Amino acid sequence: MRAYLKIVPVELYGPEGSMKVHALLDEGSTVTLIDEQVANRIGAKGRRETLRVSSVGGNEITDEKSRVIRVKIKGLFSRNLKLMTAQTIRNLKLAPQRVERATVAACSHLTDIAENLIYDAAAPCILIGQDNWGLIVSRQIKSGRANQPAASLTQLGWVLHGCCSSLSRPINTVHHLRPSDASDIELNDIVKRHFEIESLGVAPNRATIQKRALVLLDSNSVRLPSGQFETCLLWKSDNETMPERS
63 three-class SS: strand
Q: Is residue 159 part of a domain?
A: yes
Q: Is residue 223 part of a domain?
A: no
Q: Is residue 163 part of a domain?
A: yes
Report whether 104 contacts 164 (CB < 8 A): no
The amino acid occupying position 73 is: I
For the stretch 45-66, pLDDT in tens is 999 999 998 887 778 889 999 9
What is the total count of domains within the chain? 1
Where helices occur in 106-207 by DSSP H, the ranges are 114-117, 133-136, 182-198
Domain that holds residue 127: 2-180
Q: Phi, psi at residue 54, to the nearest 5°?
A: -115, 145
Q: Is residue 32 part of a domain?
A: yes
The overall average pLDDT reported for the chain is: 86
pTM: 0.68
For the stretch 137-170, pLDDT in tens is 999 999 999 999 999 999 999 999 999 876 455 5
Q: Is residue 190 part of a domain?
A: no
Bigger pLDDT: 233 vs 205: 233
Question: pLDDT band at 42, cuts 50/70/90?
Answer: very high
- Assign residue 72 the CATH number of its domain: 2.40.70.10
Q: Is residue 213 part of a domain?
A: no
Q: Is residue 233 part of a domain?
A: no
Q: Is residue 244 part of a domain?
A: no
